[in-house]
């Protein structure tokens, strides 16, 4: 190799090496996040039990792969249709109730997919309230005489997941509609182009990158789902991972299925990255808000009904029914001690995970800030991206990957205990600490992204002033930046806490014995068919899930007002 080329490549490699304690800490955090993925591949290479794996490969995996692909295609088409249509409706048209719908369309984000499936299974049961009212109106007395089609199945799962996950597309697409070059849309209108053609030929092509980003996020949530799919009787790859591990005790076989899921996630991430690269074509140099067209009479009523329908199906009906059932349960029997114990477990683990995740996210964000000041961002950026990778990994996949590092730690710890004459024990495996670590790896992207965005709003002159006064980076962070980061830290903490409370797949696979959270309590009650007991837990999760949605809605309203000013 030519000496100049060799020297350039050496300088490039040195730029990627950590410099200083903060970047070394960030690199260690990123390595801990990547370790479960490496251990997942190692576990898969061990090979499953011959008889069990051949049975899974022949009878389970093909059907689960087909169901997963059909679910991704169906939900993808539905979230694109609902999310894009709703975003265009509240952006391009003005009608009574438009401002309320603009934030109400976010409400389904507060309800996890497994809770929506749980609510609709009881709501649409042959002996449930909906079918009872329909039979009464039609003059039938018994479910044997008349019943609606069963919601269980692939079609029902696609519809329910689509009406819950469309806000991902709605958020990204509405932001694009609000900021793209309105001059093109106004020009199309002045040329006499019908509104449908303006949407199809001008707005939709400009918004394609935002639609792709939102769709990729929604489909990753589909891959992470286990409760809704299992409740509705759809055997997906996620359900196959769970049953292969828990029911058949074949961890390598489950790891091999999890690797197939990881390949799908990589494809979705590639789609999202490709879409982001083209976002520059959708935004002009000086974007102006589009003036909504005023609707009156029947057109206004139709627009209001179309906008309210996704909110009704995705939030109002399931949340309202759960609130009614929870009130009935509490009024008749009170709250069981086991449920109160689940609340304590949920809050305790979620709080611990929030503290750990915020601390790790702060290290990643601050190391990136220091690297930008020194103009050596390669290594810090790599650590930040690697540390954020866990959010894209489904909970079942991450849980399997976490097992081997926990086993290594317990093995080494027990060797030390035996050396000092103590009895060996399970240190991390089967403990709440395993849940905290899994939550931190999964939701680190939320904390790191929020803190990085908060640091970006702090002018670099404050760093230079603190350095000129002799403050080390740690002191500058403590005395200058942390007080300014309080809003960003609070928002990130809220998002991590709520996501940790709602997490079901990783909790099911890693929780200690006789340790229930609200999510696993609901899962167990739904599996037993005792919907009355699970309604209280479901309503608590929904109530807490409303907090980040309200925060997101307020941010969106403020953003819209700024654009209109």
Instruction: Read off the pLDDT of residues 176-202 as tens digits, 9 standing for 90 and up.
Output: 777 665 556 666 666 666 667 777 777
Give residue 157's pLDDT. Answer: 94
Mean pLDDT, range 114-138, rounded to an integer? 86
Find tokens 């997919």 and name the residue.
Answer: 113
Residue 488's pLDDT is 85
Judged against a pLDDT cut of 70, whether residue 83 lies above it is answered with: yes
All domains of the chain, ordered by start, with CATH? 335-529 (1.10.3720.10)
C-alpha dist (Å) from residue 444 to 76, 355, 362, 462, 499: 26, 11, 10, 27, 11
Mean pLDDT (the chain) is 81
Query: Cα–Cα–Cα angle for 29, 388, 490, nearest 5°?
Result: 90
Nearest CA among 427, 412, 546, 455 for reference residue 115: 546
pLDDT, one tens digit per residue, over 440-462 is 999 988 888 888 888 888 888 88
Q: Which of 199-203, 385-389, 539-543 has the highest mean pLDDT?
A: 539-543
Instruction: Check if the beta carbon of residue 464 is closer than 8 Å to that of residue 407.
Output: no
User: Can you give the pLDDT at residue 284?
Assistant: 45
SS3 state of residue 473: helix
Kindly state the average pLDDT of the residues 519-538.
82
Q: Which of 268, 269, 262 is nearest to 41 (CA)?
A: 262
Distance separating alpha carbons of residues 431 and 478, to the nearest angstrom:
33
pLDDT the model gives residue 456:
82
Per-residue confidence band for 214, with pLDDT thresholds at 50, 70 and 90: confident
Percent of the chain surpassing pLDDT 70: 84
| pLDDT tens-digit series, residues 145-175 | 777 888 899 999 999 999 999 999 998 888 7
- Predicted structure pTM score: 0.83
Looking at beta carbons, which pairs linking 267-271 to residues 24 or more positions away fall under 8 Å? Answer: 268/216, 268/219, 268/220, 268/223, 268/392, 269/216, 269/392, 271/212, 271/215, 271/216
| Predicted pLDDT at 436 | 92
Task: Note whether 537 and 522 are within 8 A (CB).
Answer: yes
Residue % of the chain over a pLDDT of 90? 20
Residues in the chain: 565
Residue 559 is predicted with a pLDDT of 39
Question: What are the structure tokens assigned to 519, written together?
Answer: 């999510």
Gyration radius from the chain CA atoms: 26
Note the pLDDT of residue 9. Answer: 46
CB neighbour list of residue 75: distance below 8 Å, 6 or more residues apart: 158, 161, 162, 165, 218, 219, 222
């Amino acid at each position: 190799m030519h000496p100049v080329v060799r020297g350039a490549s050496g300088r490039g490699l040195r730029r990627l090496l950590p410099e200083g304690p903060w970047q070394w800490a960030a690199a260690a955090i990123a390595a801990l996040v990547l370790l479960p993925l490496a251990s997942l591949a190692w576990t898969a290479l061990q090979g499953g039990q011959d008889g069990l794996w051949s049975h899974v490969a022949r009878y389970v995996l093909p059907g689960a792969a087909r169901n997963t692909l059909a679910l991704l295609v169906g939900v993808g088409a539905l979230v694109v249709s609902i999310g894009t249509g709703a975003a265009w409706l509240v952006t391009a048209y003005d009608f009574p109730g438009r401002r309320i719908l603009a934030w109400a369309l976010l409400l389904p984000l507060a309800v996890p997919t497994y809770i929506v499936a749980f609510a609709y299974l009881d709501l649409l049961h042959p002996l449930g309230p909906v079918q009872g009212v329909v039979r009464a109106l039609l003059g039938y007395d018994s479910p044997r005489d008349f019943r609606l089609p069963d919601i269980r199945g692939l079609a029902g799962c696609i519809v329910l997941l689509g009406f819950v996950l469309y806000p991902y597309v709605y958020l990204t697409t509405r932001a694009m509609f609000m900021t793209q070059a309105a001059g093109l849309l106004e020009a199309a209108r002045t040329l006499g182009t019908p509104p449908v053609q303006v949407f199809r030929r001008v707005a939709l092509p400009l918004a394609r990158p935002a639609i792709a980003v939102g769709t990729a996020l929604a489909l990753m949530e589909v891959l992470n789902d286990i409760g809704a799919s299992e409740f509705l009787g759809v055997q997906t790859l996620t359900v196959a991972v769970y049953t292969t591990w828990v029911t058949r005790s074949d961890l390598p076989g489950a790891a091999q299925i999890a690797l197939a899921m990881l390949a799908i996630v990589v494809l979705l991430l590639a789609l999202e990255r490709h879409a982001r690269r083209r976002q520059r074509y959708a935004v002009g140099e000086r974007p102006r808000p589009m003036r909504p067209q005023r609707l009156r009479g029947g057109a206004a009523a139709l627009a209001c009904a179309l906008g309210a329908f996704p909110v009704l199906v995705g939030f109002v009906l399931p949340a309202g029914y759960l609130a009614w059932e929870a009130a009935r349960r509490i009024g008749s029997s009170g709250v069981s001690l086991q449920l109160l114990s689940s609340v304590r477990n949920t809050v305790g683990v979620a709080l611990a995970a929030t503290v750990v995740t915020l601390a790790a996210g702060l290290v990643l964000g601050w190391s990136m800030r220091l690297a930008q000041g020194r103009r050596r961002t390669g290594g810090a950026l790599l650590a930040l991206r690697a540390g954020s990778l866990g959010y894209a990994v489904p909970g079942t996949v991450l849980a399997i990957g976490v097992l081997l590092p926990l086993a290594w730690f317990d093995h080494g710890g027990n060797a030390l205990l035996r050396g000092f004459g103590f009895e060996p024990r399970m240190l991390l495996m089967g403990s709440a600490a395993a849940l905290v670590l899994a939550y931190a790896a999964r939701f680190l992207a939320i904390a790191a992204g929020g803190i990085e965005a908060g640091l970006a709003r702090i002018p670099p002159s404050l760093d230079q002033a603190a350095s000129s006064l002799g403050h080390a980076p740690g002191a500058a962070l403590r005395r200058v930046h942390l007080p300014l980061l309080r809003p960003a830290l609070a928002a990130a903490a809220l998002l991590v806490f709520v996501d940790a409370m709602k997490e079901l797949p990783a909790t099911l696979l890693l929780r200690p014995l006789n340790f229930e959270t609200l999510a696993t309590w609901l899962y167990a009650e739904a599996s037993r068919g005792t919907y009355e007991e699970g309604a209280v837990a479901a309503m608590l999760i929904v109530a807490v899930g409303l907090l980040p949605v309200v925060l997101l809605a307020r941010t969106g309203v403020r953003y819209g007002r700024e654009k209109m000013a």
